[in-house]
Structure 1
Amino acid sequence: MRKLIVGALVAVQMAAGMVALRAEPYPHRTVTLVTHSSPGGGSDVFLRQLVKYLSRQIDATFVVENVQGGSGAKAMARLASSPPDGSVFYATTPTYIYTSLLSSSATTFRDLQPVVNFFTDSEVVYTAASSPYQTLADVIEHARTERGRWGAANPASLERQAAEQLKAAAGVQAAVVSHEGGGDMMINVLNGTLDIGIGEVPELRSQIESGQIRLLATFNPERLPAFPDVPTVKESGYDVVLQKFRGLAAPKGLSEDVAAIWDRAAKATLDDPEYRRAYEEESLISNFIGHDSYPQFVDGFADETAGFLRASGVIQ
């Protein structure tokens, strides 16, 4: 028995040594990853799961910092005023594009430097398991007769835009109620104040597994492999397809050398078999975009978004 224990300890030490050897040297011992999300929200969950595996590739300690307020404006300001030395990054999602286009904040997405993208995330429509809505069509029919109340994250979120686009496609006038985070919205879905909420699978995982909520549809182009019985919004009869990107941005001026470290680390982290099992369970789709291409990707998304907002009369 003693030999087995000693052998196991040696194996653990060797594995730890291999991880340490594989981790790439980095110019800072501590790296802060900032998100506009509240604790338990989509970006918060993404970052806290990511850092468990990212430290296998970059020799640093990662700290997640929640900077809420202004639909991401405060978080962007935090980044823009930080040194571009690789010590602090911001979790990019469509929210920071929408906030920049819909508000007059002093800091916008153009003041940050997109560095690397990790995932495409799928938006889903959900309701309380105790609600009368069995399908998305039930929700739309209720909205036709009694207007209804739908929940979304902050006003400048992709979830809010998903709700607005679904309203337009279905020709209904449901009230879309914005929240600062997914946790507050979940409470209002569960207590029946909201007919539905729009969110991401990772932040809904515990409620899905406990049977508290029911998924009605996904805005993904195809059905989610983990939920094959959940139809897409499009196949439900409403031509709306949306996906969320998840990556990191830095203060402008990040060096090529540091950006290249993140390219290598992101690829290796996404290829980590243990992490792959974890993120695929959360219906996250690996979508690596390196620092050479990510700025163009973000600019393209911003142009498309601005076009939709102008066409719908939201902005001039």
Structure 2
Amino acid sequence: MIRRSLLGVAALSLAATMVSPVQAQAWRTFPEKPIKLIIAFPAGGPTDITMRALADNASKVLGRPVIVENKPGAGGTLPAQALQGAPADGYTVAQIPLGVFRLGYTTKINWDPVQDISYVINVTGYAFGIVVPTDSPIKNWADFVAYAKDNPGKLTYGSTGTLTSPHLTTELVAQQAGITLQHVPYKGNADLMQAIMGGHVMAAADSTGWAPFVEAGKLRVLNTWGAKRLGKFPDAPTLKELGYDVVQNSPFGIGAPKGTPPEVVQRLHDAFKKAMEDPSYLLALAKYDMLPDYKSSADYTQFAKDTVSREKVLIEKLGLAKAP
């Protein structure tokens, strides 16, 4: 019996050594077909435009098409959820917005945002702000706060979804300002811009997809959320200048399914890192006052761990944690 067991172990070891070179060869030739990149917001917005530029550049590096698939909704978390059912072969990757790290605190999920994603690379972050129509009686942030105090719960603002960074940051600022707002979620920037231009909401909290409307004189920027003022809109104060200890740029990157071979993750990382350095990508980012924000696979994984802990504090502070 012992001899049979030893023979069995030896046979399994031999099989493993026989399979390994085949797998290694597959990794060396990766990719052999198109790669799907799922992004969290609709076509036509800042995320879509910048990620398509990145995908085009990565296609040139990899020698295979990187095809963008838009999967909006659920606060930007659908691409990450899609990874949970995808093969761990590197042919399906997804944008990972900050909202993914809040999921465990706001809804019931059967997967872990840190453990069940292979983090490939962080690529950029958003420039955010709050805007109103230029014909609005609200001319600045002081007017915004005064109106909200005089009309509790009646000042409507739109965002790109419930529990997204624009939604949560606005609620955090409102809490600090002592005002109550009425939130209206939309699936993406295009829908949100239609809503504010059509008079369906009084204000919009979003990344700089509103920039063309501001430049056209249709919208006014009340504040921005970075560490310093935006170059295109130097007259708009930051939240910190307005007295709020808040800086938000919501970094995001690309993840793959859990268990994706390290060699494939490395190949993807290297391709997207090179794609980030292409001038066409930098121009696409500049259009929306976004900046490259590179994090390696290891650094991005650590960022995910740290962010999950930090977002727990924010969710609890706003009273939005799911019931136990």
Coarse TM-score class (shorter-chain normalised): 0.7 to 0.9
* Alignment match, 1:254: 260
- Tell whether 2:151 aligns with 1:146: yes
* Alignment match, 2:24: none
Answer 1 or 2: higher relative contact order, Cα 8 Å, separation at least 6. 2
CA–CA distance in structure 2, aligned partners of residues 113 and 156 of structure 1: 23
CA–CA distance in structure 2, aligned partners of residues 155 and 206 of structure 1: 24
* Alignment match, 1:131: 136
- Tell whether 2:100 aligns with 1:109: no
What secondary structure, in the 3-state scheme, does the structure 1 residue paired with 2:62 have? coil
CA–CA distance in structure 2, aligned partners of residues 303 and 260 of structure 1: 26
Give the share of equivalent positions with the same residue, in percent.
Answer: 24
Cα distance per residue 1:182-201 (max 9 Å; x no partner)? 22222221123322111111
In our comparison, the structure showing a higher alpha carbon Rg is 2
Amino acid in the other structure paired with 1:191: G
Amino acid in the other structure paired with 2:74: G
CA contact (8 A) 1:92 1:248 kept: yes
Q: 1:86 to 1:274 in 2, by over 3 A?
A: same
CA contact (8 A) 1:120 1:245 kept: yes
Output the aligned Cα RMSD.
2.1
How many Å apart are 1:79 and its aligned residue?
1.3
CA–CA distance in structure 2, aligned partners of residues 140 and 217 of structure 1: 12
CA contact (8 A) 1:31 1:63 kept: yes
What secondary structure, in the 3-state scheme, does the structure 2 residue paired with 1:243 have? coil
- Tell whether 2:51 aligns with 1:44: no
1:154-233 to 2 correspondences below 5 Å = 154-201=161-208, 203-233=209-239
How many Å apart are 1:36 and its aligned residue?
2.7
CA–CA distance in structure 2, aligned partners of residues 274 and 63 of structure 1: 17
- Tell whether 2:250 aligns with 1:244: yes
Bigger mean CA offset, 303-312 vs 50-59: 50-59
Q: 1:204 to 1:28 in 2, by over 3 A?
A: farther
Cα distance per residue 1:236-283 (max 9 Å; x no partner)? 233322111121011001122122223322332222234323322321
CA–CA distance in structure 1, aligned partners of residues 53 and 146 of structure 2: 38
CA contact (8 A) 2:83 2:257 kept: yes
Per the normalisation by structure 2, the TM-score is 0.83
Q: 1:26 to 1:134 in 2, by over 3 A?
A: farther
How many Å apart are 1:25 and its aligned residue?
6.6
Moved over 6 A (4+): none
Q: Structure 1 stretches of 5 or more lacking a match?
A: 1-23
Equivalent of 1:82, from 80, 86, 105?
A: 86
Amino acid in the other structure paired with 1:172: I
CA contact (8 A) 1:26 1:60 kept: no
CA–CA distance in structure 2, aligned partners of residues 123 and 207 of structure 1: 14
Aligned length: 292
How many Å apart are 1:72 and its aligned residue?
4.0
Q: 1:181 to 1:212 in 2, by over 3 A?
A: same
Per the normalisation by structure 1, the TM-score is 0.85
How many Å apart are 1:213 and its aligned residue?
1.7
- Tell whether 2:306 aligns with 1:300: yes
Q: 1:134 to 1:54 in 2, by over 3 A?
A: farther
CA–CA distance in structure 1, aligned partners of residues 73 and 288 of structure 2: 27
What secondary structure, in the 3-state scheme, does the structure 2 residue paired with 1:253 have? coil
